[in-house]
Structures are given as structure tokens and as C-alpha cells.
Amino acid sequence: MEQNIDGSIGWHSRAKAVIPGGVSSPVRAFSAVGGNPRYMVRGAGSRVFDVDGNEYIDLVGSWGPMILGHAHPEVVRQVIEVASNSSSFGAPSPHEVELAEEIIHRVSAVEKVRFVSSGTEAVMTAVRLARAATGRDLIVKFAGCYHGHSDALLVQAGSGVITLGLPNSPGVTVGQAQDTVVLPYNDVASLEALFTERGSKIAAVITEATPANMGVVPPLPGFNKLIADLCHKSGALFILDEVMTGFRISVGGWWESVRQENWIPDLFTFGKVIGGGYPLAAVAGKAEIMDLLAPLGSVYQAGTLSGNPVATTAGLATLKLCDKALYDKVNLRAQQVGAGISQALGEAGISHQYQFAGNLFSFFFTAEPVRSYEDAKDQDTKIFAKFFHSMLKSGVSLPPSAFEAWFVNGAMTDLDVEQIISAAKISAEFALNP
């Protein structure tokens, strides 16, 4: 086969010469599935197109933010309009105020919002605030939950760390790691034991609202409420990481969808959807904690492009279009696609677990339900790789890792669903008998 020097193979060869691994985020490299990553150049609605001219139904969705589909006309129109007046001022602008107001309107536990440029920054800031507010150092996280690549939290993280088989955070100092305690996810006994032994030293517990970076592993009933209760009883803060689920699961994100459980986080982190595909994230929460940030308080955080007008305009335009009708449609599409693929895998005789939380879903190629990081690691990733490549060949772009959530969007049609399920039937047979 002749190499197309202008296609994905040629671009990746060029990229590897100038970018570590040829990518700006590890999972994109296809290391977990083999082969050459596709270089995308255009998206329209439910579909994306690569440099070779191939068309794919997109189940990656830029890892969450493209909830409306690609290049939504109204979002594009507003972005072009604001960018024509300058993409950044390094000064306050009305757009960030309007977006903060929209977030506060949607999430009743949020009183103030500070914008940053990435989920990692949002979590770093939340952790710093928690330590300042409590005067304590210890942070508790759960194995397999991913909260960005800051030193203190890149310990038994999910997503790319699992995918690449990396050891526990090379480059992270002992001093950073010693203030982070990692517990098994969904393990009530371990959580209660830690608070009994060290509760007075814990600054915060952080968890994904529903983990989606080791695949989708919903919290067991009452687990998040237990975290909140233990934190508040001991004087620690509860940080709910909704970078993935915020405004993707519902109008108000995960927490608003489960308010009847009667628990409240102290701080939230948001990302993905709030930027509408542009680099934007936020830390948000109670005013008394948020006001510890400079310039009101002494907790320092800054960013040249934080809250820039293009990203905040894209985010606000996206959120304004994320109404109940949109969520109803996305939830339906997720159920149709997930159930259809699960049926195809089952009919082919492939052991798997179809797991979902709202409209987030993923598949584990294992015989037993997945409730923790250890469970997630115990799956047949080789079967997934074969299934992945067959789906790609059939025109369906999946996340290139068995440890990621899958995403549908509001532009997806009945025909898209039919094509996905048809491809899944072919790919399931191929994965078992290539």
C-alpha cells in the first residue's frame, strides 16, 4: 500500500518528529489499539472527516463538549462575531459574567464561579482552596478517577494512565504524593475506616460525579452521599468533579439530577460542555470558600486566557441550546446506541458489560460488572482493539481506548443509529473471528 504523504499516515510521521509521541494528549496516539491515528479536519453535526477524505459517525465528541454536534450554526455564528472584535483582552469582558450567571442559575449549590482554561487547572484550584479553607493537607481520591495531570492527583488515575500502562506517576515527588490518599472506588468500608483514623487531617475528598475515565463506573447507591456526610462531619470539604458530567448529563449536571439524595458538595469543577469545544473550565461553589481566591482572599490563581471572550461565548451559546428537549434526545440516542451495540456483542458471543450513567456509557470486555479500577483493568483489551478498528473501517469513530466513556450528540439521526448498530454486528463477528 502506497503511503499517502498528505494523509493521516504522513501527518503522523511529521508529528512524531516534532511532538512527543506525535500527539498533544496521549490517548490520541492509538497506542492502546495499534495502528495510525486519524487526523481530523472537519466536523458537521454527528460526523467528522479526516485528511484522507474518510467520513465517520462520531462517538468521541471531543470527549464530551460537542453535545450539540460539530459546528452548530448558532455557536459558530456567535464565535465568529465575538472573535471579529478580538479573541482576548487580558481584561474582564461581559461574556464571562453572563456564562457565570448561567452556571449559577443551573446549579443551585453554586454561588460563585472562577474560570480557568482546563479541567486540570480547575481541580488544582479547588484543591488549593480546600487546603486553605481547612488548614489541612491531606487529599483523598479514588483509584481510577482522573482529575487532570497535576502532581498531587496523578496517582492511580484513570484514562490515559491505564491505557498506556504507566506506573504511578513518574515525576511526581514523594512530597506531593504523601499528601494524597488513594482508596478503592465504591468501597464504603475503606472510606469509613480512613475517616475514623485520619478524619481530622483530611482537607478534601475529590471524586468524579460518576467515574468516566476508567470507563463508565456509576457510584453505588448512597456512595456520594456518604462522602459528603463524612466530609462535613469531620470538617473536610467535598469536591465534586463534574468536568465530564457537568451539563452533559442534565440541565444542571450530575448533582442537580440527584438532588433528591440530599447531599451537597462544597466545590465543583466544570469543563468540556461549558466551553463548547474551546479551552475553558471552572471551579465553582459556596461564596465563603470561593472568596478566599485573590483578589478578595490570599489564595492565588491566575491565567492570561482565563474567561476569554471566544471560549465563554461558545460555552454560553452551547448551554443556551442545552434544554430539556436536547437532553431527552441525547439520552434516547445513548440508550439506542448502547443497547444496540450490546445486543450485537451478545449475539456474537462476546463477554461484555454495557454500563451507563445518564447518557455516558462504555463497554467492558469482561464477564463481571465493573465497580472499581481493579475490575476495569481485568478486561480483554485485545478484543476491544479488534472491535475498534473494524468499527473505524465501517465508518464509526470510537474512543481509542477501552477505558473511556462514549459520547452521542443532539445531531445524531435515526440513520446514524442504524449505521452504528449495523457496523457493530460486523465488528463483533470480526473481533471474535478476525
Paired with 285 in beta bridges are 112, 267
Can you tell me the distance from the alpha carbon of 43 to that of 40, in angstroms, rounded to the nearest whole number?
Answer: 8
272 among known catalytic residues: yes
Residue by residue, DSSP assigns 115-168 as EESSHHHHHHHHHHHHHHHHS--EEEEETT----S-GGG-SS--THHHHHT--S
Can you tell me the distance from the alpha carbon of 405 to that of 33, in angstroms, rounded to the nearest whole number?
Answer: 16
Catalytic-labelled residue, pool 141, 272, 377, 386:
272
Can you tell me the distance from the alpha carbon of 27 to that of 37, in angstroms, rounded to the nearest whole number?
Answer: 10
354 among known catalytic residues: no
393 among known catalytic residues: no
Can you tell me the distance from the alpha carbon of 328 to that of 318, in angstroms, rounded to the nearest whole number?
Answer: 16
What is the β-pairing status of strands 360-364 and 353-357?
antiparallel
The number of helices, as runs of H, and strands, as runs of E, in the chain is 15, 13
H or E segment at 387? Answer: helix 381-393
DSSP annotation of 219: P
Amino acid code (one letter) for 91: A
Paired with 281 in beta bridges are 116
Catalytic-labelled residue, pool 241, 266, 375, 416:
241
- Cell numbers 440541565 correspond to 251
CB atoms within 10 A of CB 306: 21
Catalytic-labelled residue, pool 146, 185, 327, 373:
146
Q: Do 273 and 321 contact (CB within 8 A), yes or no?
A: no
Question: How big is the chain by its Cα radius of gyration, in Å?
Answer: 21
* Backbone φ/ψ region at 235: left (φ over 0), alpha (ψ -120 to 50), beta: left
Strand boundaries in 32-136, DSSP class E: 40-44, 47-50, 55-58, 112-116
Reference 350, options 322, 316, 378, 379; nearest CA is 379
Q: Give catalytic residue positions.
A: 146, 241, 272
